[in-house]
């Protein structure tokens, strides 16, 4: 066999190219980055899940709306004069308790432990 013949050179090129193609096919199949013809790496494309992104976006929008509502309340508290907040707190203290609310004081029946039981 002549090592310098054109058939041998073509066979080496064919084996090298086939090995490179098989290597990249295996790497692509398992999600690894691919090797280009200059030895650099090409990262695989990532599949986007638009539904998951839309759901996450909706959750973030709802959270932001809640935070805006809280900010409005906080701004009102901060910008109101101090005496109006104090008056509102005192008005809540003076208001009669709601019907279904538990009373603030103990309304249970007192027990007299000093009496002895008669049998």
Instruction: Give DSSP secondary structure letters for 13-74.
Output: HHHHHHHHHHHHHHHHHTTPPEE-TTS-EEPPPPPP-HHHHHHHHHHHHHHHHHHHHHHHHH
For residue 43, the model assigns a pLDDT of: 66
Residues 59, 30: one domain?
no
Q: Is residue 103 part of a domain?
A: no
- Can you name the residues that pair with 41 across neighbouring β-strands? 35
Question: Given this model, what pLDDT does residue 90 score?
Answer: 79
Q: Please list the residues that pair with 35 across neighbouring strands.
A: 41
Q: 91 and 53 in one domain? A: yes
pLDDT in tens, 21-44: 898 888 888 877 776 666 667 666
Distances (CA, A) of 36 to 11, 47, 49, 59, 112: 21, 21, 27, 41, 94
Same domain, 59 and 41: no
Q: Considering its fold, how many domains does the chain have in total?
A: 2
The tokens describing 72, both together, are 């409005």
Residue 91: give the domain boundaries: 49-95
Pick the more confident residue, 65 or 94.
65
pLDDT band at 15 (very low <50, low <70, confident <90, very high): very high
Same domain, 59 and 82: yes
Element (H, E) at 108: none
**Do residue 2 and residue 38 come from a single domain?**
yes
């Amino acid at each position: 066999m002549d090592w310098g013949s054109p058939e041998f050179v073509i066979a080496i090129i064919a084996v090298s190219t086939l090995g490179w193609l098989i290597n990249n096919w295996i790497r692509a199949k398992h999600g690894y980055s691919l090797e280009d013809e200059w030895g650099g790496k090409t990262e695989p494309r990532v599949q986007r899940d638009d539904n998951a992104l839309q759901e996450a976006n909706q959750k973030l929008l709802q959270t932001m709306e809640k935070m805006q509502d809280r900010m409005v309340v906080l701004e009102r508290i901060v910008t109101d004069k101090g005496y109006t907040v104090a008056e509102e707190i005192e008005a809540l203290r003076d208001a009669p308790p709601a019907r279904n609310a538990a009373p603030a004081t103990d309304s249970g029946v007192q027990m007299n432990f000093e009496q002895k039981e008669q049998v």
